[in-house]
Amino acid sequence: MGKKILLNAFDMNGAMHNSHGLWKHPDNQRHRYKDLDYWVEIAQLLEKGKFDALFLADVAGIYDVYKQSGAPAIRDAVQVPLNDPALIVPAMALATRHLSFAVTVSTTYEHPYAHARRFSTLDHLTGGRLAWNIVTSYLPNAAQNFGLTDMIAHDDRYELAEEFLEVVYKLWEGSWEEGAVIRDAQRGIYTDPAKVHKIHHQGTYFRVPGPHLSEPSPQRTPVIYQAGTSERGRAFAAKHAECVFVGGQTHEALKFYIDDIRRQAEQFGRDPQSIKMFTFLNVVVAETREEAELKFAEYSRLWSREAAMAQFAGSSGYDLSAYDPDAYLEYTHTNHGQTRAAQFTKFAGKKLTVREVMDRIGTLGGQGAVLVGTPKEIVDRIEEKVERTGVDGFNVAHLITPRSLKEFVELIVPELQRRGLYKNDYEEGTLREKLFGSGNRLLPDHHPAARYRDAAAYV
């Protein structure tokens, strides 16, 4: 295998991410998420392990579908309490040199004009080490908090997202020409007005005359991540994303999604091999298998079935508490996460009863998402997945923070490096250059945003 594996740490700026119930473990320091020192320590640990980025997930509401109540999620810290992911990035960037940051922002509940300035600012402050993970949001509580009675329909959210991206591409790529800022003290000109252009956007969802408030940042457009493997989500990723977070219960399913996104990208006129594919990884590792299994058993005892049910209900739209446990769980379209809704139905391989699904969700590792073993055993599994699916990298979750990350850095990373599967040091440059090679600071010409670079298009 010739390529080097890419690694992001998968996290949230909150009390817990998806390690349901493990806030109770005495070694878990997640409660420190409110302190900048905590995030600086995490960032420096990840840079020690040569991680490519810290991938910060986010949601815009409470998980209140399960039992039609927010109480289970609030009680067990299911992605609540939760702080803004963008605000911790500058402190981590100052404490590191190479680690990059992928920040999740929803196109459904943000405005592109304000978003463009915020991300230009972060790209400046990080020296071009910024990515934007695009989501369209699925929680009913989020829709209500932003003034809507119901969620916008799943596919309609992607239509809105398409126009959102058109606006930010115009602002980032076309509004300011290179060399607009000249700082000519002799002539009294800081910025040449002839090189700053309005965008005059008038669409279905947004009216943005421009110009962009910020001067071009190192990458102009931050590296674009997208998470979603529904049919509409794959088409969106194929058109826009440079990095895609892809789910898949089996090697075959994961390979299908990866191949399909690359096939569609080629139809959009993009280089399909230029898109980096990531999937989920969670490990329990120790020097011996016996020790790893003891850790896994310890974590399993603390796992919260109720918290896992609350997260599943919010992400899928299925409140399993309202179902007959002995009935088969059938696929029903919802406006929540389409892939999550299909996980135990269309993608299960066989029909499962509601009770069987609840047992899988309510058990640590019941969904087959945790690798347990020695560094050699786990890297064997990682290498197999890369070879069989074509995936480029992993979003690494962690059950106990920071202990699980430290174990990954100290045990897994050296084994990956020993086999030549992982870098020994960082490349210089922006995140896009680190991912795609020196000189690739900006989006490539085959990306749809490139057509907005011609300032003559704006009057």
Query: What CATH number did the domain enclosing 118 receive?
Result: 3.20.20.30
Q: Of the given ranges (297-306, 330-339, 447-456), which has the lowest mean pLDDT?
A: 330-339
Residue 57, beta-bridge partner list: 12
Do 33 and 76 lie in one domain? The reply is yes
Whether residue 70 lies inside any domain: the answer is yes
Do 283 and 312 lie in one domain? The reply is no
Residue 421, CA distances (Å) to 5, 246, 260, 413 in order: 6, 20, 25, 9
- The pTM of this model reads 0.95
Q: What is the pLDDT of residue 339?
A: 73
Count of alpha carbons within 13 angstroms of residue 187, beta-carbon side? 7
Is residue 165 very low, low, confident or very high in pLDDT (cuts 50, 70, 90)? very high
Do 343 and 420 lie in one domain? The reply is no
The domain containing residue 352 runs over which residues? 304-363
Q: Residue 119: which H helix or E strand, with range?
A: helix 112-125
Are the CB atoms for 57 and 105 separated by under 8 Å? no
Whether residue 299 lies inside any domain: the answer is no
Paired tokens of 438: 């020196």
Burial-class residue 456 by CB neighbours within 10 Å (0-12, 13-18, 19+). Answer: exposed
Strand stretches in 305-377, DSSP E: 370-373
Q: How many domains does the chain have?
A: 2
Is residue 332 very low, low, confident or very high in pLDDT (cuts 50, 70, 90)? confident
Angle among Cα 413, 428, 50 to the nearest 5 degrees reads 15
pLDDT > 70 fraction of the chain, expressed in percent and rounded: 98
| CB-based contacts of 301, cutoff 8 Å, min separation 6 | none
Do 44 and 24 lie in one domain? The reply is yes
Do 311 and 385 lie in one domain? The reply is no
245-258 burial string, b = 16+ CB within 10 Å, else e? bbbbbeeebbbbbb
The closest of 162, 67, 168 to 108, measured between CA atoms, is 162
Q: For the beta carbon of residue 424, count every other beta carbon within 10 angstroms.
A: 8
Instruction: Out of 312, 332, 363, pick the residue that ends a domain.
Output: 363
Do 337 and 262 lie in one domain? The reply is no
Q: Residue 54: which H helix or E strand, with range?
A: strand 53-57
Q: Give pLDDT tens digits for 238-260.
A: 999 999 999 877 899 899 999 99
Phi, psi of 67 (to 5 degrees): 60, 20
Do 75 and 212 lie in one domain? The reply is yes
Q: Give pLDDT tens digits for 144-156.
A: 999 999 889 888 9
Whether residue 297 lies inside any domain: the answer is no
Whether residue 87 lies inside any domain: the answer is yes
Whether residue 37 lies inside any domain: the answer is yes
Residue 279, beta-bridge partner list: 394
Q: What is the pLDDT of residue 459?
A: 44
| CB-based contacts of 418, cutoff 8 Å, min separation 6 | none
| Length reported for the chain | 459
Q: What is the pLDDT of residue 87?
A: 98
Whether residue 159 lies inside any domain: the answer is yes
Do 87 and 231 lie in one domain? The reply is yes
The closest of 226, 192, 207 to 112, measured between CA atoms, is 207
Residue 315's identity, in one-letter code, is: S
Are the CB atoms for 317 and 366 separated by under 8 Å? no
Higher-pLDDT residue of 4 and 336 is 4
Residue 394's identity, in one-letter code, is: F
Residue 457 has pLDDT above 60, yes or no: no
Mean pLDDT of 163-175: 98
Are the CB atoms for 16 and 78 separated by under 8 Å? yes
Residue 50 has pLDDT above 80, yes or no: yes
Do 148 and 18 lie in one domain? The reply is yes
What is the average pLDDT value for the chain, to the nearest integer? 94
Q: How far apart are the first and last CA of the chain?
A: 51
Residue 458 has pLDDT above 80, yes or no: no
Q: What is the pLDDT of residue 366?
A: 77
Q: What is the pLDDT of residue 394?
A: 97
Are the CB atoms for 13 and 88 separated by under 8 Å? yes
